[in-house]
Structure 1
Amino acid sequence: MGLFKKNPFGHILFLKKWLIRSAGVITHRRYRGFNQLQIEGSEIIKDLPETNVLFISNHQTYFADVVAMFHVFNASLKGRTDSIKNVGYLWNPKLNIYYVAAIETMKSGLLPKILAYAGSISIERTWRANGEDVNRQVKMSDISNIGRALNDGWVITFPQGTTKPWKPIRKGTAHIIKRYKPIVIPIVIDGFRRSFDKKGLNIKKKGILQSMVIKAPLEIDYENESIDDIVEKIEYAIEQHPSFLKVLTPKQIKEIEELNELRRYGTDL
């Protein structure tokens, strides 16, 4: 790699590599120390193509979710199945992993700006800005930037656009799927909201169960399925369809939440 080689967004890859390495070392104990991240399905990662892969996931914190995925993806590519043991997998990280984030979030301080350099595709939200509801048109440059990232590598997106559970899927994700026809990998996470503060920068509580389930690619008929059809598939895939709320009673949900706060995992994960 040339010392000043850049990616399509003008980021110097050598610098990006060192940012990922440094952030990985600093954050590793958040998922394998203070808390233990239980991973399922990561064997899928190593068989994915180099480009045009879209990961869709529910969202629980601004940054901890994405950082955990960077760990899991790179560990999987280095042959670790369902494990992030030994952070050495980040010595030579995959540099073309991107994630979609609100531009106001990524400009909210020095650390978010550093994390943005590591792979953010910063977009302008059409429904929310500075804590208030808005209604504005999608910027075509945002869509184009996501397409450029897919053409260069992998993209992580949170189609609800919020860390609050059970919110509707934004149709923009379905439009991106129709337009660019990526392989779509669903991910379901849990425990991050209890482990970290809302931003995902500070540890709120230790010993919390964290989980990440990586599912098989969605089967999508890019030409014939409607936007609404794809939205519904996304809702079910990341387990945020309203029907999931009917499976458990409020009392059962509360009991599971309390159990999760007490559970511990061994150090062999």
Structure 2
Amino acid sequence: MSLFKRNPFGHILFIKKWLIRIMAVITHQRYKRFNKLEIEGSDIIRSLPSENVLFVSNHQTYFADVVAMFHVFNASLSGRENTIKNLGYIWKPKLNMYYIAAAETMKKNLMTKVFAYAGSISVERTWRSEGKDVNRQVKMSDISSIGKALDDGWVITFPQGTTTPWKPLRKGTSHIIKKYKPIVVPVVIDGFRRSFDKKGLRIKKKGILQSMVIKEPLEIDYENESFDSIIEKLEYAIEQHPSFLKVISKKDLKAIEEENKQREF
């Protein structure tokens, strides 16, 4: 690999590789020693093509979720079976892996800019800005950037656009799916909001069992399926459809809501 070879967004791959390696070393014990990450479905990762794959997941923290996925996906590609044991897998990380994040979040400080260089596709939120509700049009350049990333490799998205559970999915995700026709892989995570703060940077509690379930790709009729139908399919796949609330007791739901209030900032 040329020392100054760049990805489609102009990022130097040599620098990106070392940023991923360093962040992996710093964060590995957060999922391996302080807490335990239970993984299911790593064989699915190894069966996927190298590009045009969209991972769709529920969201619990700003950064810990996606960092865990970088660990799990790279470990799986190196042949590990549902484990991130032995950090050697990060020596040759998958460099064409991206995640969608709010532009205002990724510009806040040096650390978020480092996270951005490591793989974010920064988009402008249409419903929230600087802590206030807004209503603005989707930027076509943001859609094009996501398409460019899919052409190059894998993209991770959190279609609820918030770490609060049970919120409706943003319909923009279904538009991306219809337009670019990626393989759509659902991912369901749990335990991250109990073990980390909202940003996913500080360990809030140790000894928490975290989990990540990678599911089989969804069957989607890209030409004939409606946007609403795709959204509903995604909601069920990442276990955020309103019907899932029926199996949660009022006591547990209240506890979740109280915890989310304490984590607001």
Query: Equivalences for 1:1-269 in 2 at 5 Å?
Result: 1-251=1-251
What CA distance in whole angstroms lies between the structure 2 residues aligned with 1:147 and 1:255? 39
Q: What CA distance in whole angstroms lies between the structure 2 residues aligned with 1:156 and 1:109?
A: 22
Aligned partner of 1:85: which letter? K
The normalised TM-score by structure 2 is 0.95
Give the C-alpha shift of residue 254 in structure 1: 7.6
Structure 2 residue matching 1:99: 3-state secondary structure: strand
Helix, strand or coil at the partner of 1:229 = helix
* 2:260 matched residue in structure 1: none
Distance 1:18 1:137 in 2: 36
Distance 1:102 1:252, change over 3 A: closer
CA distance in 1, matches of 2:59, 2:27: 18
Letter paired with 2:43: E
Structure 1 CA distance, aligned partners of 2:254 and 2:121?
A: 36
Q: Tell me the distance in 2 between the aligned counterparts of 1:167 and 1:201.
A: 23
Question: Aligned to 1:187, what secondary structure does the other structure show?
Answer: strand
1:178-208 Cα shifts (integer Å, max 9, x gaps): 0000000000000000111110011111001
Distance 2:80 2:171 in 1: 34
Q: 2:224 is paired with a residue of what secondary structure?
A: coil
Measured against aligned partners, the alpha-carbon deviations of 1:35-80 in whole angstroms (never above 9, x if no partner) come to: 0000011110011001000000000000000000000000000000
Q: List gaps (5 residues or longer) in structure 1.
A: 257-269
Matching residue's letter, 2:188:
V
Distance in structure 2 (CA, Å) of the matches to 1:143 and 1:206: 39
Identity across matched positions, percent = 77
Unaligned stretches of 5+ residues in structure 2: 257-265
Name the CA distance, whole Å, in 2 between partners of 1:253 and 1:38.
23
Q: CA separation of 1:251/1:125 partners in 2, compared to 1, >3 Å: closer, same or farther?
A: same
Cα distance, 1:248 vs. partner?
2.6
Hey, what's the Cα distance between the residues in 1 that align with 2:240 and 2:253? 15
AA paired with 2:24? G
CA–CA separation in structure 1 for the residues paired with 2:53 and 2:91: 23
Task: State the alpha-carbon separation in 1 of the partners of residues 151 and 164 from structure 2.
Answer: 30
Q: Residue 71 of structure 1 aligns to a residue in which SS? A: helix
Kindly provide the CA deviation profile for residues 142-173 of structure 1, in whole angstroms up to 9, marking residues without a partner as x: 00000000000000000000000000000000
- Which residue type is aligned with residue 77 of structure 1? L
Provide runs of 4+ in structure 1 moved above 3 Å. 251-256
Cα shift at 1:4: 0.2
Q: Which amino acid aligns with 1:89?
A: Y
**For the residues of structure 2 that align with 1:197 and 1:253, how far apart are their CA atoms?**
19
The alignment covers a number of residue pairs equal to 256
Cα distance in 2 between the residues matched to 1:112 and 1:169: 24
Task: Give the letter aligned to residue 155 of structure 1.
Answer: V
Deviation at 1:255, TM superposition (A): 9.5
Paired residue for 1:263? none
Secondary structure at the aligned position of 1:108 is classed as coil
| Map of 1:262 onto structure 2 | none
RMSD of Structure 2 on Structure 1 (CA): 1.2
